[in-house]
């Protein structure tokens, strides 16, 4: 199979949003159009009446929120589509940030009533930092919401990106009838259909179409032409190069729950979104069309299937062709590895594959050799740049409630922190385990999963620390000095790198002055890249 052909037909993207904007529902509808599923789940009143396809963890089903990135693959009109559905909750932002290293573009979902929210801004900052192309889907047009012009101006102001309306809503709230595609000059009207594909009542570029007039009425049609004419004057016209460089965002209007506007989004996305692009390693730039395989691990999930206790590492293929049962070089461990059952995903269901191409996200069954950020190649020493672990904002000590299950607890804590759900620090003497997170909800998830997946019960005891700084130094003596003198506030991460635990920024400032030869890092990527 020709690699360049395979690259050109692939689209790998993440769907991101503030919680409850409808991100998972949109993912479901895209899967419906792709024929990957027949009936979508529905999330209502924070309970999942029929578990959403992409929410497969038990705690997600109980709470009605996504707390882990899901990977879904399907084919549509000759294209291979890889969707990564991310957690919306801010406590799981790090999982989302890491996921953004594995995609070529993003669809950002915005609630038409609430507009730009806190998490939307933070996610957009990461996209801008990486110059990731962004499309915006304004959701829930079937409910009363903000004026379309006001909303577009808000998107431009708050997200600091030029907005380019690609479709325009015909009415809103109870009067929402469909969307008009400004570029194809076509109207599409739908019947609401929450669980399956909607029936398209009218798809026409004939503005004098009798059925169109009959359904909408002349007054609504006149308003549509007036609004779209004004929008064309006010907002930026579409330019593919500006979109792909991250300066301009095409905007689509619709209702994911009722399948309004989703097809326009999907088909336009496949037409203009970038195919897999280059990857940056510390050693050099990797081009997708290279003959030799290279890929990196951006996520790890333990117990994807609780019956088999398996551990799966999610790998993004960056170049060449990945082949089943072929030996690949693990650059961190300096050893060869073979994968006999690489998997493609449709949420929690998996199928074994024989090959994968740049842009594909595959699952590798693993017994503990792979970690987030690891690079696999055909022999070349490469370390692909990724999103680091950030300094946690909350630190708590793990308290074992059942001494007979100590081994299960230790295994569970290590595996769950390997996933990137939280960070693990060990303090001596006493082998004290400290878990650091960016939000309280992560502790609930860890506690739930430890009990239900490992049979281990624990509590978390709050600690006074608000920051963790990784320590490095060109002087081994200087590093040993701070570790020994400050042993009560120094722990070690999984790579055995010393970490300074501080109660305030002022404490860090004093420590820096006391130990001038020691460097204090607020993320671990600097430490990893120097090892």
Domain boundary among 272, 301, 336: 272
Check whether residue 153 and residue 258 sit in a common domain. Answer: yes
Report the pLDDT value the prediction gives residue 439, as an integer from 0 to 100: 74
Domain assignment present for 338: yes
DSSP, collapsed to helix, strand or coil, labels residue 85 as strand
Check whether residue 263 and residue 288 sit in a common domain. Answer: no
Report pLDDT digits (tens) over 101-131: 889 999 999 999 888 887 788 788 878 877 8
Domain assignment present for 525: yes
Domain assignment present for 255: yes
Check whether residue 216 and residue 283 sit in a common domain. Answer: no
Q: How confident is the model at residue 284 (pLDDT cuts 50, 70, 90)?
A: very high
Report the pLDDT value the prediction gives residue 155, as an integer from 0 to 100: 93
Residues 371/324, Cβ–Cβ less than 8 Å? no
The CATH number that applies at residue 181 is 3.40.50.300
Residues 388/420, Cβ–Cβ less than 8 Å? no
Report pLDDT digits (tens) over 352-404: 889 999 999 998 988 778 888 899 999 999 988 865 666 788 899 999 999 89
The CATH number that applies at residue 298 is 2.40.30.10
Report pLDDT digits (tens) over 71-109: 788 888 889 999 887 764 454 556 677 778 889 999 999
Q: How many folded domains does the chain comprise?
A: 3
If one compares 163 and 392, the residue with the highest pLDDT of the two is 163
Check whether residue 452 and residue 473 sit in a common domain. Answer: yes
Kindly state the average pLDDT of the residues 202-211. Answer: 68
Report the pLDDT value the prediction gives residue 128, as an integer from 0 to 100: 83
Report the pLDDT value the prediction gives residue 221, as an integer from 0 to 100: 82
Domain assignment present for 386: no
- Name the one residue in this structure whose structure tokens are 């395989």: 293
How far is Cα of residue 399 from the mean position of the Cα atoms in its chain? 31
Report the pLDDT value the prediction gives residue 47, as an integer from 0 to 100: 31
**pLDDT score of 225 more than 70:** yes
Check whether residue 44 and residue 75 sit in a common domain. Answer: yes
> What is the Cα–Cα distance from 212 to 206, expressed in whole angstroms?
9
If one compares 133 and 346, the residue with the highest pLDDT of the two is 133
- Name the one residue in this structure whose structure tokens are 């951006």: 298
Report the pLDDT value the prediction gives residue 529, as an integer from 0 to 100: 46
Report the pLDDT value the prediction gives residue 193, as an integer from 0 to 100: 60
Report the pLDDT value the prediction gives residue 8, as an integer from 0 to 100: 93
Domain assignment present for 387: no
**pLDDT score of 49 more than 50:** no
> What is the Cα–Cα distance from 101 to 19, expressed in whole angstroms?
21
Check whether residue 323 and residue 289 sit in a common domain. Answer: yes
Check whether residue 510 and residue 430 sit in a common domain. Answer: yes
Check whether residue 239 and residue 91 sit in a common domain. Answer: yes
Residues 279/271, Cβ–Cβ less than 8 Å? no
Domain assignment present for 389: no
Per-residue H/E/C for 458-517: EEEEECCCCEEEEEEECCHHHHHHHHHHCHHHEEECCCCCEEEEECCHHHHHHHHHHCCC
> What is the Cα–Cα distance from 456 to 444, expressed in whole angstroms?
14
- Name the one residue in this structure whose structure tokens are 């798809």: 203
Per-residue H/E/C for 153-201: HHHHHHHCCEEEECEEEECCHHHCCEEEECCCCEEEEECCCCCCCCCEE
* Structural domain boundaries, residue 284: 279-377
Residue 43 DSSP code: E
Name 76's bridge partners.
79
Check whether residue 313 and residue 267 sit in a common domain. Answer: no
Domain boundary among 377, 409, 442: 377
Residues 63/54, Cβ–Cβ less than 8 Å? no
Q: How confident is the model at residue 307 (pLDDT cuts 50, 70, 90)?
A: low
Report pLDDT digits (tens) over 448-507: 888 888 899 999 999 999 889 999 999 999 999 999 999 999 999 988 899 999 999 999
Domain assignment present for 428: yes
Domain boundary among 227, 256, 272: 272
Report the pLDDT value the prediction gives residue 192, as an integer from 0 to 100: 64
The CATH number that applies at residue 457 is 3.30.70.3280
**pLDDT score of 268 more than 70:** yes
Domain assignment present for 430: yes
Check whether residue 223 and residue 372 sit in a common domain. Answer: no
**pLDDT score of 176 more than 60:** yes
Check whether residue 241 and residue 148 sit in a common domain. Answer: yes
Q: How confident is the model at residue 46 (pLDDT cuts 50, 70, 90)?
A: very low
Tell me which H or E stretch contains 266: helix 262-272
Check whether residue 82 and residue 226 sit in a common domain. Answer: yes
**pLDDT score of 203 more than 70:** no
């Amino acid at each position: 199979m020709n690699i360049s052909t395979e690259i050109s037909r692939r689209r790998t993207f993440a769907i991101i949003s503030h919680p409850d904007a409808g991100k998972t529902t949109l993912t479901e509808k895209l899967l419906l159009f792709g024929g990957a599923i027949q009936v979508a789940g529905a999330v209502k009143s924070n309970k999942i009446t029929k578990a959403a396809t992409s929410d497969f963890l038990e705690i997600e089903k109980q709470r009605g929120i996504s707390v882990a990135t899901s990977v879904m693959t399907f084919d549509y009109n000759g294209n291979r589509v890889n969707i990564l559905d991310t957690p919306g909750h801010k406590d799981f932002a790090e999982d989302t940030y890491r996921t953004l290293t594995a995609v070529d573009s993003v669809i950002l979902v915005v609630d038409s009533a609430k507009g730009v929210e806190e998490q939307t801004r933070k996610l957009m900052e990461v996209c801008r930092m990486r110059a990731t192309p962004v499309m915006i889907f304004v959701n829930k047009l079937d409910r009363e919401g903000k004026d379309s012009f006001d909303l577009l101006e808000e998107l431009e102001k708050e997200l600091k990106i030029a907005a380019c309306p690609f479709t325009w809503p015909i009415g809103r709230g109870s009067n929402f009838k469909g969307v008009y595609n400004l570029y194809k000059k076509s109207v599409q009207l739908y019947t609401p259909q929450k669980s399956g594909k909607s029936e398209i009542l009218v798809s026409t570029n004939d503005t004098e179409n009798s059925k169109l007039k009959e359904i909408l009425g002349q007054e609504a049609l006149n308003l549509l032409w007036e609004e779209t004419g004004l929008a064309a004057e006010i907002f930026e016209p579409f330019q593919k190069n500006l979109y792909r460089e991250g300066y301009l965002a095409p905007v689509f209007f619709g209702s994911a729950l009722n399948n309004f506007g989703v097809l326009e989004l999907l088909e336009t996305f496949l037409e203009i979104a970038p195919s897999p692009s280059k990857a940056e390693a510390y050693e050099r730039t990797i081009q997708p069309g290279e003959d030799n395989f290279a890929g990196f691990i951006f996520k790890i999930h333990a117990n994807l299937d609780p019956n088999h206790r398996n551990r799966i590492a999610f790998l993004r293929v960056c170049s060449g062709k990945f082949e089943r049962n072929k030996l690949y070089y693990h650059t961190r461990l300096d050893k060869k590895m073979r994968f006999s059952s690489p998997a493609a995903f449709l949420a929690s269901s998996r199928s074994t594959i024989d090959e994968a191409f740049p842009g594909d996200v595959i699952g590798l069954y693993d017994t503990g050799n792979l970690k987030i950020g690891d690079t696999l190649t055909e022999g070349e020493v490469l370390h692909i740049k990724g999103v680091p672990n950030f300094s946690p904002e909350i630190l708590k000590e793990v308290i074992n409630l059942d001494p007979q299950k100590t081994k299960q607890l230790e295994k569970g804590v290590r595996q769950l922190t390997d996933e990137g759900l939280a960070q693990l620090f060990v303090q001596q003497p006493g082998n004290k385990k400290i878990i650091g997170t960016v939000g309280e909800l992560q502790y609930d998830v860890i506690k739930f999963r430890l009990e239900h997946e490992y049979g281990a019960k624990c509590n978390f005891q709050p600690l006074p620390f608000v920051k963790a700084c990784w320590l490095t130094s060109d002087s081994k003596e200087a590093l040993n000095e701070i570790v020994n003198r400050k042993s009560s506030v120094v722990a070690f991460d999984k790579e055995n790198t010393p970490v300074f635990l501080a109660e305030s920024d002022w404490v860090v400032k004093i420590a820096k002055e006391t130990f001038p030869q020691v460097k204090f890092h607020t993320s671990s990527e600097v430490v990893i890249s120097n090892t």
